[in-house]
Structure 1
Amino acid sequence: MTTVTATANGTTTVNPKKTNLLDHHSMKHLLDETVTEIVTSRGYSEDVRLSNVRLLIGAIIIIIALLAQFYNKKFPDNKNFLIGCIVSYVLFNGILQLIIYTKEKNAFLFTYPPAGSAYNSTGLMVSSKLPRFSDMYTLTIASADPKSISAKPTIEFTKSVTKWFTKDGVLVEGLFWKDVEGLINDYANKKSK
């Protein structure tokens, strides 16, 4: 992450965003974080409702596991309670996986429509892929509500990460911002489905 710090003599220094080029997970994470910065700087505010639902279900799963572990009766006396905990644990895990599979997919950012936009606008669902052993990063922008009448067609680009990183693993933010902002502009200029 780029950080700007002020020194005692009044000068500022910039710490560039840097990653390990041999670790595609950290590279994808850095690119995704930067995309989030770009999208939110364009007036889209992040919609965290789905994340909150996932956290709530995860907390329920943990509570179920803790109840099963620390219930004050010993095993054959707590058999029915344990069966209930196991069934509940599997059920809530299934619900969580269903949400991830059907709603979230590869998305790392959901947004509300931009402030001041028309009533018939939808937020964005931004997702990305960086396959293992590949340098091709795919960024996809879609409507957060694809069934809406104002939903726009999905748009994406695929480019090599070698265009955005130096050999030392420093992100050349200007180039990356230009590409991502171009994709956002292309999406904004599309007609609704």
Structure 2
Amino acid sequence: MAALSPRDAAAVLASAIPPPKKAANLLDPFSLKRVLDDTTSEVVLERGYVENVKLSNLKMSIGVITCAIALAAQFYPKKFPENKTFLIGCIILYVIFNVILQYVNLTKEKQYILFTHPFPGSFSGTGLAISSKLPRSSDMYTLRIESADSQHILALPPVELTKSVTKWFTKDGVLAEDIFWDDVESLLDTYENESRKSK
């Protein structure tokens, strides 16, 4: 097999390095929060936690049912007004399932960005629930780690980190990933140390 030229080797190396994470607009808190939230999830999963997708699956199931209701109403073989009763039923069901979805969002999902199962091999009976906040008129990002089941007997006290996003983003909107990664890992260490103290 022929050796790669220096130019080809450099191209292969460059393609193997992922591009830096960047916020589309530094003035848009949703853009900044999305980058930070996604990176937080990467750090936690890289640590060995396994994502609990039960809530996501529930929301997807409700969404699929809602879409099926809309499709049934659209393609029902009879024409209006013969299908009037069927359409009224579909509208009522569509509203009910949308209300259920909003209820799940408001009461279960809240500001959480990630739920996990208990750490593999640990004796903890609860995983993590990770949430974040970045108010519209503030540069202060708050990351919170707590037990996924706060009522569980082994639930630990939550830990929080609040810092200005200016500590993690350059003026071009590029995330200083190594700094943010270290901060998230330190917060995880603090939470896991609480777990060891409780034993």
Q: TM-score, normalising length from structure 1?
A: 0.89
Gaps (5+ residues) in structure 1?
A: 1-6
Tell me how far 1:32 sits from its aligned partner: 0.6
Counterpart CA distance in 2 for 1:8 and 1:108 is 40
Q: Distance in 2 between matches of 1:155 and 1:80?
A: 53
Higher share of residues assigned strand: 1
* 1:3 aligned partner: none
| Post-superposition CA distance 1:16-41 (Å, at most 9, x none) | 21223122212111101100010011
* Runs of 4+ more than 3 Å apart: none
| Per-residue CA distance 1:40-85 (angstroms, 9 max, x = gap) | 1111011111101101100100110111122121222112111211
Pick aligned residue for 1:187 from 170, 186, 191:
191
Q: State the match for 1:97 in structure 2.
A: 102
Does 1:42 pair with 2:47? yes
Distance in structure 2 (CA, Å) of the matches to 1:35 and 1:67:
40
Aligned to 1:111: 116
Which deviations, in whole Å up to 9, do the C-alpha atoms of 1:79-136 show, x marking residues without a partner? 2111211111111111111111111111111111111111x33111111111113211
1:8 match: 8
Equivalent residue for 1:4? none
Q: Report the CA distance between 1:177 and its aligned residue.
A: 1.2
In the TM superposition, what are the counterparts of 1:73-84 in structure 2 within 5 Å? 73-84=78-89
CA distance in 1, matches of 2:79, 2:158: 55
Question: Where does residue 124 of structure 1 map in the other structure?
Answer: 128
Q: Does 1:86 align with 2:91?
A: yes
Name the TM-score, length of structure 2 as normaliser: 0.87
What residue is the counterpart of 1:32 in the other structure? 37
User: In the alignment, does 2:149 pair up with 1:145?
Assistant: yes
Q: Which amino acid aligns with 1:44?
A: Y
Distance in 2 between the 1:175 and 1:144 partners? 26
CA RMSD of aligned residues (A): 1.6
Question: Could you tell me how far apart the structure 2 residues matched to 1:180 and 1:121 are?
Answer: 22
Q: Secondary structure of the equivalent of 1:75?
A: coil
Partner residue, 1:173: 177
Q: In structure 1, how many angstroms separate the alpha carbons of the residues matched to 2:27 and 2:181?
A: 23
Q: Alignment partner of 1:166: what SS?
A: coil
Amino acid at match of 1:87: I
Q: Find the aligned partners of 2:95 and 2:194 in 1 and give their Cα distance.
A: 43
* Partner amino acid, structure 1, of 2:30: H
2:22 counterpart (15, 18, 25) = 18
Consecutive unaligned residues of structure 2, counting only runs of 5 or more, are 1-6
Identity %, equivalent residues: 58
